[in-house]
Amino acid sequence: MTAHLTPEGRRAAQVLWDFHTAPDRAGDASGADILLALGSHDLRVAGYAARAWERGVAPLVVFSGDRGRHTSGQTGPARWERPEAEEFAAVARRETAIPDSAMLLERRATNTAENFAFSRLLVDGHGIAVRRAVVTAKPYMGQRALATAAVHWPGVHWSFRCFPGGLAGYHDDDRYPEAEVLHFLVGDLQRLVLYAERGWSAPVPVPDRVREAHDLLVRLGFTRHAVVAGPLRG
C-alpha cells in the first residue's frame, strides 16, 4: 500500500509527535554525570549531543551504536561502513571542540535496549558512577528512550533532551523526508506499547487520542516501520 498523506493525516502526525517528544519538555536535566546519545541514521543527534557538552550539560558523552537496520542496509542501501558511534563521534569533532577525552564510544548495540545495556557496561568498566543522566536521540524517541532506560539501566535519574525544530523542522532537511518520519512515528508508538508487554521496556500510558491518531496513519499506509499493520492494541 502506498502511503497517502491528507490534511487529517498531518494533524494526526502532530498528535503523535507531541506525545513522543513530551519528555523533552519535562524534568530537570541539570547535574548529569553523562549524556548518552543513541545512534541512528540521523546525524543531527550527534551535533546536538556535542553542543550540549559544550553547554556543560554533562562532562562525558557516550555515543552508542553499531550499524542498525537503517544504517547497515537492511531497509535499503547501506548508509555507512562504520558503527554509528564512530559516525556520531566524527560529527561531534567536526562541529564542536569536544576532545576525545570527553567521549566514550560503544560500538556493539544494534537496538535501543542494547544502547543502554552495553553503554552501562562500558561506563561501569571505566569506573564512572552515574546517578543522573541525559539521553538524546531522534526527537520522536523520547518516550521509548526513557521507558527502555527504566528497564535496562535502572537506578539512574534519566532525562530526555533533543534537538529543536518540531515536526515541521524535522523534515526541512532533505535527508529526512516527511513521509519517512511518519512511518517512524507509527512504528515507535507500536514499539512503546508492544515492548512493554514483553518486558523490554517500562509501560507508558497512551491516551486515546494518540491511539486514534496512530490508527489513522496506519489506514493511510504509514506502516513501513510498523511491527503490526493494524490498530494499536494493549
Q: How does pLDDT run across 25-59, given as a tens digit for each residue? A: 887 888 999 999 999 999 999 999 999 999 999 99
Question: What counts of helices (H) and strands (E) characterise the chain?
Answer: 9, 5
Q: Tally Cβ neighbours within 10 Å of residue 27.
A: 14
Strands (E), the chain: 34-38, 61-64, 103-106, 132-136, 157-160
Helix, coil or strand: residue 147: helix
Specify the pairing of strand 61-64 against strand 132-136.
Answer: unpaired
Among residues 1, 5, 12, the alpha carbon closest in space to that of 186 is found at 12
- Residue 119, all three cell numbers: 553503554
Residue intervals in the chain for CATH 3.40.50.620: 23-160
Backbone angles phi, psi at 97, to 5 degrees: -100, 20
Average pLDDT of the residues in 67-89: 74
State the pLDDT confidence band at 228, using cuts at 50, 70 and 90.
Answer: confident
Question: Which residues make beta-bridge pairs with 105?
Answer: 63
Candidate from 53-67, 79-93, 141-155, 189-203 with smallest mean pLDDT? 79-93
pLDDT of residue 190: 97
Which top CATH class is 23-160? alpha beta
Sign of the CA dihedral with 130 first, then 132, 138, and 142 last: positive
Residue 1, pLDDT > 70, answer no
Q: What's the confidence (pLDDT) of residue 73? A: 54
Which residue in the block uniquely carries the three cell numbers 512511518?
Answer: 183
Q: With beta carbons less than 8 A apart as the criterion, state whether 145 and 139 touch.
A: no
- Average pLDDT, stretch 103-117? 98
